[in-house]
Amino acid sequence: MKSLNGKELAGFIKERQAHQVAAMSVKPKLLILRDSDNPVITKYVNLKKRYGEDIGVEVIDMCITSDDALREEIIRANNDSSISGIIIQLPLTNKSLTDELCNLIVPEKDVDGLGEHSKFDSATATAINWLLAGYDIKLEHKKIALIGRGKLVGAPLYRMFTNSGYHVDLFHRGSDLTKLNQYDIIITATGQPGLITNSMVKPGATLVDAGTASEDGVLKGDVADAVRERTDLAAITPVTGGVGPLTVTCLFDHVIQAIGIY
C-alpha cells in the first residue's frame, strides 16, 4: 500500500520557495487572524509560522475575539501595502461570520482562496490535487467520492474536479455513506473522527483524509484506525503529514505570488 506523504513533496517545493523569497527585493508578509486558542487551530498556526520563518516570509499571528475588531483588522490589513496575504484560520467560534469575513478580504490578498472573488484557488483543495498528482494517482475514468462540502475542501475540490471532467459525487450530512464502497477514490474532510469505517472502503481504493479534530487532546482524522491497518488499499494518507504539509506549502506559494498581484 502506498503512503501519500505530503511532507516529502512539500520539501522539494519549500526549497524552491526559499530561493524565490531570497531573490525578492520586497519580502512577502502573511497575516493570520483567528478568534480562539483551540488546540487544532494553534497547531496549524504554529506550522505556518515555522514554515514562513524557514523560507523568509514574515508571519503575523493575531487572536482577536471581538467580531467587530476582526472586521476592522481585515480592512486595515487590506490597505496595508506591506501585507501580501491575509487568512482567517478556520473554524471561527462564530461560524456564521465565515463567509462575510472571508469575502471582506480583498481578492488579491485572499491567499487561502476562500472568498467569492479570490484570485487564488483554495489552498487545501489545491494541495490535494498536488498530492494525488505527485504520487501518480490517476483520476480519469475513476469514481471519486468527496465527503463534506465545506469551503476549505469539499466545495472547491468539487468545482476543480467537475471542471476537469472527472466523475465525482459529493456526500454531505445525511448522505448514505454505505455507498462509498462503490468508489475508487475517497476524499474526506468532515472533522468527524472515525467516520469512515472498513465496510465503506473497497479493496484497492485510495483514501485522502483531510479531516482534523481533537479527541482527548489527540489529533484524529475522519478515517477509522481499523481502515489504516488494511493492506489491500491502493494508497492512503498518513495520520499526520498527508494533506496538511502541502496545504501550508500551497498557501505560501500564493503569498509569494501575491507580491506581483497587489
* 3-class secondary structure, 44: helix
Q: Mean pLDDT across the stretch 90-102?
A: 92
The pLDDT of residue 209 is 96
Q: Mean pLDDT across the stretch 103-123?
A: 95
| Domains of the chain in sequence order | 10-121+245-258 (3.40.50.10860), 123-239 (3.40.50.720)
> What does pLDDT average to over the chain?
93
The C-alpha atoms of residue 78 and residue 151 are separated, in whole angstroms, by 21
**Tens of pLDDT, residues 172-203:** 888 999 999 999 999 999 989 999 999 999 99
**pTM for this prediction:** 0.86
The pLDDT of residue 191 is 87
pLDDT-based confidence at residue 131 (cuts at 50, 70, 90): very high
pLDDT-based confidence at residue 220 (cuts at 50, 70, 90): confident
